[in-house]
Structure 1
Amino acid sequence: MSWTTLLGFGHQGWGDELLRGACLSLGISISAYLVGLALGLVGAVAKISRNRVAVSAAVAYTTIIRSVPDILIIFLVYYSATDALRWAVSLAGLTSEFQLNGFVAATLSLGIVQGGYSTEVLRGAIVAIPRGQVEAAYALGLTRRQTFFLVTVPQMVPLALPGLGNLWLVVLKESSLVSLIGFTELVLAGKMAAGATRDYFMFYCAIAFIFLVMSGISAMLFHALETATVRGGRKS
C-alpha cells in the first residue's frame, strides 16, 4: 500500500486519526499554556512581593519544577489527583471508581510545569520595568491593583513575549508526553498507525512533519505579535 493511501483519509488511511491526534495535541497545549500563564503570573507576583511566605512558596515551586522531570510530574498529577478525588468522593458517602480524565490530567500536569517556567519569565519582565513608572502611578493616586493592571502589565507583555513564545514551543512538544498515560494525542495516534502497518519510518516522519508545521506557524504568529507590540509601544 502506497504512502499516499496510508496517510490519506477514509477507511484505508490513517489521516483521520493523525488529524484528530494533532487537534488534541493543540488543545492540550493551549489549555496547559493558559494554566501555566495564570500560575506564572501568580508566582511572579509572589516572588517580588514583600510577603516572606509567598516568596518562599514561589521559590519552592519553581525549584521543584526545574528539578523534577516533567514526565514524573505528569504521573504524580494523574495518579495522585485521581486518588485525592476518590478520597473526596468517599467522604461524601459515595462509592465510585473515579478516574481523572486524560485531557484534564494532561492540562493540569503540563500547566503546572509551564507555570514554573512562566514564573521566571514574567518575574524578569516585571523587574525590567523602571521603578519610576510604578512610583509615578502611586503619586497619581492609583492603587496597587490599578498600577499593576494599567502600568505594569502593558509594559510587561512586550518584554515577556520572546520568552513566552519559547515556552509555547516547549509545551507544544511536551504534549507528546501525555501519550504515556494513555491519552491518544498525535504521537500515540502515529504510534498506533505505525504498529498496525509496520511502516514506522513513514509515520514517525509524518508526526515530525506535523509538529514542524505547527511549530513554524506558532513561531510566525509570536513574531508578528512581538512586532505589533513593539510598534504599539513606540506609538504610545
Structure 2
Amino acid sequence: MAADMINWSLLALEPPGWGGVLLAGLMNSIKIALGGYSLGLVLGTGGAFGKLYGGPVLRDLMEVYTTVVRAVPELVLILLLYYAGTDLLNRVSAALGYGSVDISGLAAGIFVIGVVQGAYSTEVLRGAILAVPAGQIEAARAFGMSPLMIMRRVTLPAMLPHALPGLSNLWLICTKDTALLAVVGFSELTLVTRQAAGTTKAYMLFFCAAGVLYLLLTLVSSLIIRVIEARARRGWAAR
C-alpha cells in the first residue's frame, strides 16, 4: 500500500519530473571524482617519490602535507580550501594587477578533492614503492638505466599490483567525498537531491534514488577495478 502512495512520476526524466536533474548531478559528481582522483594521483606520485628520494626539506614538507590533510576532517578542509583558497588567489591576482579571478565550481571542486586525495595517495604509493624488491632496482642501475628510466620501466610497473587495492579504495571514497561539496553550493548529486526533495517533499523517494545511483556507481567501479587488478597481476600466480 505504501508503494501506491509513492509518486514515481517525480523521477521522470522530463519536467515536472526530477530524474534528469538527478542524472545531471550524478554526472557532475563523476566529473569531480575523475578530475580530483587524477589530480590526487599526480600529487600522490610526487609526494611518494619526494618522501622516499627527496632531500630533508622536501621530505619534511611532504610529511607536513600528509599529516595535516589526514588529521583535519575532510569537510573542514573543503571549506578551508574552497573559501580561503579562492580568497587567497583573488588577493594574489589583485596584487599583480589582474583583478579578481572567476573560478568555476567544477575546477574548485576538482582542486579540493585532489588535494585531499593526494595526501592519502602519497602514503599508498609510498608503501607500494617500498614493496618493490630492492634487487630489481639495483639490477636496473647495474644495466646503466637513468633514475627516470628506472622509475618508468621498473618501479612503477612493479609497484602497481601493490598499490591497486589502496588506490581502489581511494577511488570509492572519492566518489562519496563529492557529496561534501554540497556545503559550498556545487550542484552535484547530493545537492540536487536535497533540492528535489525540498521542493516536492518526497524525501524518502529522492534520497533512496540518490542512494541507488551511488550504489550503481560503486558496483560499476568495482567491476572495472577487478579487470584492472586482474591485468596488473598477470603472472603472479605462476611465481
TM-score, normalized by length of structure 1?
Answer: 0.95
Q: Please state how far the C-alpha of 1:74 moved relative to its aligned partner.
A: 1.0
TM-fit CA distance, 1:234 = 6.4
Is the partner of 2:162 in helix, strand or coil?
helix
Tell me whether 68-77 or 121-130 shows the greater mean CA deviation.
68-77
Residue-by-residue CA offset, 1:49-84 (whole Å, 9 max, x unaligned): 151111111111110111011111111111122212
Could you list the runs of 5+ residues in structure 1 that have no partner in the other structure?
A: none
- Of 177, 181, 184, which aligns to 2:184? 181
The answer to whether the Cα contact below 8 Å between 1:81 and 1:100 also exists between their aligned partners in 2 is: no
Task: Using the TM superposition, name which of 72-81 and 218-227 deviates more.
Answer: 72-81
Aligned CA distance change for structure 1 residues 108 and 199 (closer, same or farther; 3 Å): same
**Quick one: structure 1 residues 182 and 50, their matched pair in 2 at CA, closer, same or farther if it must change by over 3 Å?**
closer
Whether 2:54 is the aligned partner of 1:36: answer: no
Contact conserved, 1:138 with 1:147, CA < 8 A, in 2? yes
Which letter does structure 1 place at the counterpart of 2:157?
P
Letter in 2 for 1:74: I
Q: Runs of 4+ in structure 1 displaced over 4 angstroms?
A: 232-236
Alpha carbon RMSD of aligned pairs, Å? 1.7
> Which residue does the alignment assign to 1:4?
8
Sort the Cα spacing of 1:120 and 1:18 in 2 relative to 1 into closer, same or farther, 3 A: same
Deviations, residues 99-144 of structure 1 (Å, cap 9, x unaligned): 4321111111111110000001100110000000000000000011
Residue 168 of structure 1: aligned partner: 171
Which amino acid in the other structure matches residue 27 of structure 2? C
Please point out which of 200, 204, 216 is paired with 1:201: 204
Q: What is aligned with 1:67?
A: 71
**1:208: Cα distance to partner?**
0.6
Q: 1:200 corresponds to which letter in structure 2? A: Y
Instruction: Answer whether contact 2:6 2:205 (CA < 8 A) is retained.
Output: no
Query: C-alpha separation between the residues in 2 aligned to 1:231 and 1:130?
Result: 18
**Distance change in 2, residues 1:94/1:153 (3 Å):** closer
Residues 1:100 and 2:66 are matched in the alignment: no
Residue 48 of structure 1 aligns to a residue whose secondary structure is: helix
**Is 1:82–1:99's contact at 8 Å kept on the other side of the alignment?**
no
Matched residue of 1:231: which SS?
A: coil
Q: Separation in 2 of the partners of 1:95 and 1:149? A: 42
CA contact (8 A) 1:78 1:100 kept: no
Q: Which residue is equivalent to 1:53?
A: 57
Identify if the C-alpha distance between structure 1 residues 227 and 4 changes in structure 2 by more than 3 Å, giving closer, same or farther.
same
Partner Cα separation in structure 1 for residue 184 and residue 151 of structure 2: 39
Q: What does residue 122 of structure 2 align with?
A: 119
How many residues align structurally?
235
Q: Distance in 2 between matches of 1:102 and 1:85?
A: 15
1:211 aligned residue: 214
Q: Against the structure 1 CA distance between its residues 94 and 164, is the aligned structure 2 distance closer, same or farther, given a 3 Å change threshold?
A: closer
Partner of 2:85: 81
CA distance in 1, matches of 2:36, 2:174: 8
